[in-house]
Amino acid sequence: MINIWRLTKLQLLSTFGLNKALHTKDPAERRKALLLSITIMAGVLMIGAFSFSYSFMMGMAFEELGRMYLLLAIMMAVTSIVGFFTTVYKASGVLFSYKDYDMIMSLPVKTSHVVASRVLQLYVMNLFFTLLVMLPAGAVYAIQVNPGVLFYLFFLMTLLFITLLPIIAATIIGALISWVSSRFRASKMISVVFTFAVLILFMLGSFNLNGDQQELADMGAGLGDAIFKLYPLASVYVDAVCSYRVSSLIFFIALSVLAFVLFSAVLATRYKAIHTGLMTSHSGSRYTMKPLQANSAFKALYFKELRRYFSSANYVLNTGIGMVLLLVMSVSLLFVSSEKLGVVLNIPQLSEYLSTLSPLVVSLFVVLSCTTASSVSLEGNHLWILQSSPVSKPTIILSKVAVNLTITLPVIAVSWGLLIYTLRTGWMESILMLVIPVLYACYSAMLGVIVNLKLPKLDWTSEVTAIKQSAAVLVSMILGFISLVVPAALFMLLRSVNGNLILLGYGILMAAVCAGMYRYIRISGERLFLRL
């Protein structure tokens, strides 16, 4: 156990840059670490307040129905499902694709201990989200139900195990996908396709639960049955925490721990073989001499960046999931109309809300698909090649922005065509549904690369660290969410004002911000890039 703890601690310190922040002597680095900590704390407080408000509103509805246990059941299921989704597409990067594999495997520790430490790293990353969701929900439940002492004891005990089993299940699927794809030549692209296919099938399955619309709209026993069908372990959790059943508590904890131990032991037997298969490159075909083609500097850099993007399964999965979800949502509305969805969710005016707020909903998926927030960090120890190249540095930066737009704009266009057909929007709403997401695509792409230039993570050992867990990714995502919260808040505060006018005014403001960021890259891009 001591080896597992030491490995996990070292990996976490390296992943989040805590070791460097705690021991650096550079005043500039200390100031950067302080500002980053303040930004993260502000983001945590904002998300925590939103989580508490959402739980409180749901708690009021469930209190009237006399089914407060549904609050904890829903939040527990949501936490588990989100943990499952986010772990499937980053499990391979954390488990197998890290630079210091040779050094770690040469240490006098068992392979099962290495696997266990890697799974615990995934667990700690997901525990943060679990706390943000479950602690506010538990507080709301305690306020409205006023339970006994056993609730607090059982709630805190199970809190540490909620996300463990979904992570194990997701890691098994991620490991299987990695192992199967390693048998083929185009292993990385096959891994991407398999992972996206699993996620889409899981989402479609969750929408295909047995039960009619009236049962789901009942917000009572039908809703509880739907949750327990979607995630049966939620029923065990509710019995343990809300009904104080010791047998359910023991079963819940034992199942999580047993799954963790068995997975670590079984994966250890094939761990080296899977890693070897993933890291082995295959020759696509016999090389033949062809005439060389000359391109402009921007075009050559663009294709180089595009090849880099599709050469990394972790990069595609982590930044492409937003566009995949947007397509799934757009296609789903072809089969489930907004009116029917409003009946299911008990929101009569949902169709009207979707028509007005759809530009912001689409933009949310766009913000989730920012490739540039880690594009500079992924250069790693090869950054000097670009720094010494006889090309203007703004051109290099804008080539990274162009790749981000290549990923987002085609999907925005396809989804726009599907949504204006299914939502039956007017001409003004249709124009805004296209223009606003395009502006957010430009905003997110340029914001990501600017933040990454100021907060680079070049000393990573695993691509997932730069792609998913770096400061630049976190800050750009928080700023992206804030830019979406502002117009949403204006809708709520200015109910008497036409929503299209609010979006039009905010679109003009976003266009000005994008123009300002483009000018900033043109003027200061050289200095920012050479300072890295």
Confidence of residue 279 (pLDDT cuts 50, 70, 90): low
pLDDT for the residue 523: 92
**Interval 174-207: pLDDT, tens:** 777 766 666 665 556 665 665 666 556 655 554 5
Give the single-character DSSP code of 291. -
**Interval 388-408: pLDDT, tens:** 888 899 999 999 999 999 999
Check whether 518 has a pLDDT greater than 80.
yes
Confidence of residue 19 (pLDDT cuts 50, 70, 90): low
pLDDT for the residue 346: 44
Q: What is the mean pLDDT of residues 313-339?
A: 79
Check whether 321 has a pLDDT greater than 60.
yes
Q: What is the mean pLDDT of residues 152-162?
A: 90
pLDDT for the residue 517: 94
Burial class of residue 79 (count of CB atoms within 10 Å of its CB; 0-12, 13-18, 19+): buried
Where is 152: in which H helix or E strand?
A: helix 149-159
Taking all residues of the chain, what is their mean pLDDT, rounded to a whole number? 79
How far is 352 from 371, CA to CA, in rounded Å? 32
156-170, 221-235, 246-260, 366-380: the lowest-pLDDT one: 221-235
34 Cβ neighbours under 8 A, 6+ residues apart:
none
The count of other CB atoms within 10 Å of the CB of residue 419 is 27
Q: In this predicted model, which residue has the larger pLDDT, 125 or 431?
A: 431
Q: In this predicted model, which residue has the larger pLDDT, 231 or 73?
A: 73
Q: Which residues pair with 98 in a beta bridge?
A: 462
- Is the whole model's pTM more than 0.75, yes or no? no
Torsion angle, alpha carbons of 375, 478, 465, 517, to 10: 20
**Interval 242-258: pLDDT, tens:** 888 899 889 999 998 89
C-alpha 489 chain-centroid distance: 23
Q: 497 by DSSP, 3-state: which?
A: coil
Check whether 28 has a pLDDT greater than 80.
no
Q: In this predicted model, which residue has the larger pLDDT, 167 or 273?
A: 167
* Both tokens assigned to 209: 């639960």
Please state, for a pLDDT cut of 70, what percent of the chain lies above it.
Answer: 80
85-94, 221-230, 441-450: the lowest-pLDDT one: 221-230
Q: In this predicted model, which residue has the larger pLDDT, 355 or 260?
A: 260
Confidence of residue 280 (pLDDT cuts 50, 70, 90): low
Query: What's 103-117 look like in SS3?
Result: HHHCCCCCHHHHHHH
Phi, psi of 98 (to 5 degrees): -135, 145
pLDDT for the residue 66: 77
**Interval 434-485: pLDDT, tens:** 999 999 999 999 999 999 998 888 877 777 778 877 888 888 888 888 888 8
Q: In this predicted model, which residue has the larger pLDDT, 91 or 126?
A: 126
